[in-house]
Structure 1
């Protein structure tokens, strides 16, 4: 749509908006004319959506690459951006019934209600709770445990998200960082997260109808991941091993920053927080982390090098 819409379409949309005829024209338009109206509104709306919704969100998620521009958005982030723009376009074509002199200014005031309503509507269509909250009965079934209750809400949010966690059902890596933030404990292993997710699901299954409607049904609406290649065929490597290692380290860095920030928020000294988290997250040698434990221990034991690491972390966190 961004490539096929011309200046005349945008000018036509602005003229209709000034005359208070945009919504009425969209309602009466034939398919081809409606497509031109949609394209014109899309062209006006997408920079606003990226600047005011997408970019701040990607900064909060620490996706510095995605925040640079459309060309750098990751696939799932790009899908979310397009969903938000489409929501704003639909909102404008239904609600722009009064004369609007400044179309950008009017759209800017409608970004939040348009995108929130669309998000809730998409969730509701799949059976996912539109505003996920912890039911009292579920909190009681989980014994009021703060982390398990928080995990239950995260699970209810996740089932309504169209994306998948790669080839896995649950985004365990992200929840591991969340667990460290809530509990104050080191980042847990996948086995621990898997047991806790199953514990929450078992509590949810005590109400079979509720579980079927709000967990199983929305899960079934997720797009299935691509099946892996047969084991007997060699894997097709689309990127080099160093790129895979860089991606893995970037993911670990995001988890580490979240855990460090949680410790700082509890009043822990920066050097202690950084040392504890970095040792836990990066201390184990692996293909994605070829540096040895001895190198890391030496870096953290050197006051000057540790001060540099702490200063860098605090700068990234904006502290």
Structure 2
């Protein structure tokens, strides 16, 4: 029987026994480094699957994924590849002493390597590597234990490559978490969780730079989920992942509305119309009783807001101050 040629995996095991694997990889040229890294991947992936992934998949309730690597579902396979890559990263850097049983040595490395790999990936997209609620956030949430816990979950989630279907946040999972955390098994708990998420986001957005860096930025790296099956009804589209929550959509709409209102007032004022009349009419149409629906059919200006604006417009002193402010903006432009 012809003798089998040594593979890259054989070379990796041999270098590990000699204690020169890390040094050889560090000093290798590009082709040799890729060969040795590929060999390390061949050694590592079955160890990671049996030593980590298989147990995780059983605990997740994925019996099919716990059969073999070939049976891993798409998301589970992505997580598996991330874990293998993290372990390979540590193996080719930490194998500096002779290792007789490389597989057993890798088993002892898995936990620390995958944790460090997870933190590295979070850092690459700008997410906090060890999410904690800063003091200003805790204070802004009134020290509420559940809201603080939810804030940490949100900071964890933005750095996680997983998606929540067509939603930004995994509301269903956090609904169950809220019930366990608070002991309140309310049938409408999902509504409460959505309100809680909005409450946390409002406080986070108070520190705009922090929010954009640690929440909005990492969240933008999530992949939009692609449906595996076509929609059941012909001519219908699968729901897309909306990266703007309700609060952000309302804020965006109100900003656009304010810009349009300012443009309308400026045009009429430059045409010589009476400032008090222009300001009162435009504000009423845009934000008061005359405010209509947004283009998507949703009511971004609530009835209560419209009534409040109407009362303000009947206050002549307030109108005067608004007119002065508007004229200052128009003159500045």
Q: TM-score range by the shorter chain?
A: 0.5 to 0.7
What residue in structure 1 maps to residue 35 of structure 2?
36
Q: Which aligned runs of 4 or more in structure 1 are off by greater than 6 angstroms?
A: 227-232
Query: Which fold has the larger relative contact order, with Cα–Cα distance below 8 Å and residues 6 or more apart in sequence?
Result: 1
2:127–2:159 CA contact under 8 A, matched in 1: yes
Summarize deviations over 1:231-275 as a string: whole Å, max 9, x none.
Answer: 9953599xxxxxxxxxxxxxxxxxxxxxxxxxxxxxxxxxxxxxx
Summarize deviations over 1:60-90 as a string: whole Å, max 9, x none.
Answer: 3233332232233221111111000011111
What residue in structure 1 maps to residue 221 of structure 2?
221
2:179–2:189 CA contact under 8 A, matched in 1: no
Unaligned runs of 5+ in 2: 239-333
1:180–1:188 CA contact under 8 A, matched in 2: no
Once the 2 structures are TM-superposed, how far is the Cα of residue 225 of structure 1 from its aligned partner?
Answer: 3.1
2:16–2:100 CA contact under 8 A, matched in 1: yes
What residue in structure 2 maps to residue 70 of structure 1?
69
What residue in structure 2 maps to residue 52 of structure 1?
51
What residue in structure 2 maps to residue 161 of structure 1?
160
Once the 2 structures are TM-superposed, how far is the Cα of residue 229 of structure 1 from its aligned partner?
Answer: 8.2
Once the 2 structures are TM-superposed, how far is the Cα of residue 123 of structure 1 from its aligned partner?
Answer: 0.6
Summarize deviations over 1:137-181 as a string: whole Å, max 9, x none.
Answer: 212211222221211111000000122212221111111111111
What residue in structure 2 maps to residue 234 of structure 1?
235
2:25–2:36 CA contact under 8 A, matched in 1: yes
Give the CA RMSD over aligned residues. Answer: 2.6
What residue in structure 2 maps to residue 3 of structure 1?
none
What residue in structure 2 maps to residue 207 of structure 1?
207
Structure 2 counterparts to residues 82-101 of structure 1, below 5 A: 82-101=81-100
2:231–2:237 CA contact under 8 A, matched in 1: no
What residue in structure 1 maps to residue 177 of structure 2?
178
Once the 2 structures are TM-superposed, how far is the Cα of residue 105 of structure 1 from its aligned partner?
Answer: 1.7
Report the Cα distance in structure 1 between the residues aligned to 2:232 and 2:73, rounded to whole angstroms: 28
2:131–2:155 CA contact under 8 A, matched in 1: yes
Report the Cα distance in structure 2 between the residues aligned to 1:14 and 1:178, rounded to whole angstroms: 45
Structure 2 counterparts to residues 1-319 of structure 1, below 5 A: 8-186=7-185, 188-226=188-226, 233-234=234-235
- What TM-score results when the alignment is normalised by the length of structure 2? 0.64
- What TM-score results when the alignment is normalised by the length of structure 1? 0.66
- Kindly tell me the number of residue pairs found equivalent between the two proteins: 232
2:18–2:99 CA contact under 8 A, matched in 1: yes
What residue in structure 2 maps to residue 285 of structure 1?
none
3-state secondary structure, aligned to 1:66: coil
Report the Cα distance in structure 1 between the residues aligned to 2:111 and 2:190, rounded to whole angstroms: 36
Summarize deviations over 1:294-314 as a string: whole Å, max 9, x none.
Answer: xxxxxxxxxxxxxxxxxxxxx
Once the 2 structures are TM-superposed, how far is the Cα of residue 18 of structure 1 from its aligned partner?
Answer: 0.9
Report the Cα distance in structure 2 between the residues aligned to 1:159 and 1:25, rounded to whole angstroms: 38
Computing the radius of gyration from Cα coordinates, the structure with the larger value is: 2
Report the Cα distance in structure 2 between the residues aligned to 1:72 and 1:59, rounded to whole angstroms: 13
1:179–1:188 CA contact under 8 A, matched in 2: no
Does 193-202 or 138-147 show the bigger shift? Answer: 138-147
